[in-house]
């Protein structure tokens, strides 16, 4: 910023009683921030931003500190030093994120095809779901308990019945109808 602009900003930032708007500050993009008195409520000052004329409206960016000031979240406007520190902080975060991405890319991914196959189970189980033919052969060779043998024979009988025919006493059960009790 040149000396003429500096003098103009100092003149506009003076809070003279006849002045309606006051320059509060400027950001690194060249936008200026102003306060002016409301016509209805002279106690409260409105806050606005005037964008840099050399920048297209689509390219205008407002820093978070100035946005907080515009929304009355923050009382004092940010200084130029604070804005410079924020830019340096953002560059440092980008550099650290890039280093973290490089470390992440250097590690092998779990989504890649594995180099070795999974080992088989160490013990063999006697679960009927794994060896159903072997289990049915064991039932026919060894004498089973009477209840188990009847259940096995009952299953054979059920295979001949058509679907939907009740096979046990619980399947023939029906609920009783409800009758309200009248009080006199």
In tens, the pLDDT along 40-64 reads 777 778 998 999 888 888 888 899 9
3-state DSSP assignment of residue 23: strand
- Report the alpha-carbon distance of residue 156 to residue 137 in Å, rounded: 15
Q: Which two tokens stand for residue 20?
A: 């309606």
Domain count, the chain: 1
**Residues 160-173: what's their mean pLDDT?**
69
- Would 136 be classed as within a structural domain? no
- Average pLDDT in the 111-116 region? 68
Tell whether 134 is covered by a domain: no
Range of the domain at 29: 3-78
Does residue 51 belong to any structural domain of this protein? Answer: yes
pLDDT confidence of residue 103 = 93
Cα–Cα distances in angstroms (integers) from residue 65 to residues 61, 77, 104, 167, in the given order: 12, 8, 33, 78
Q: Residue 12 domain-assigned? A: yes
Mean pLDDT over 90-113 rounds to: 89
Strand runs (DSSP E) across 41-136, as ranges?
A: 45-50
Q: CA 27 to CA 171: how far, in whole Å?
A: 82
Which of 35, 25, 36 has the alpha carbon at shortest distance from 1? 25
């Amino acid at each position: 910023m040149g000396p003429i602009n500096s003098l103009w900003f100092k003149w506009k930032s003076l809070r003279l009683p006849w002045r309606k708007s006051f320059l509060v500050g400027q950001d690194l993009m060249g936008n200026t921030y102003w306060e002016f008195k409301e016509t209805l409520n002279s106690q409260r000052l409105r806050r606005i931003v005037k964008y840099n004329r050399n920048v297209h409206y689509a390219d205008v960016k407002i820093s978070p500190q100035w946005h907080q000031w515009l929304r009355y979240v923050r009382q004092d406007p940010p200084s130029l030093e604070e804005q410079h520190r924020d830019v340096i902080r953002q560059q440092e975060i980008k550099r650290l994120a890039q280093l973290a991405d490089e470390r992440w890319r250097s590690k092998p991914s779990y989504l890649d095809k594995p180099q070795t196959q999974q080992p088989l189970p160490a013990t063999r189980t006697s679960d009927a779901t794994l060896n159903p033919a072997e289990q049915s052969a064991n039932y026919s060779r060894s004498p089973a308990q009477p209840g188990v043998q009847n259940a096995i024979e009952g299953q054979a009988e059920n295979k001949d019945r058509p679907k939907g025919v009740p096979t046990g006493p619980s399947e023939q059960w029906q609920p009783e109808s409800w009758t309200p009790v009248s009080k006199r």
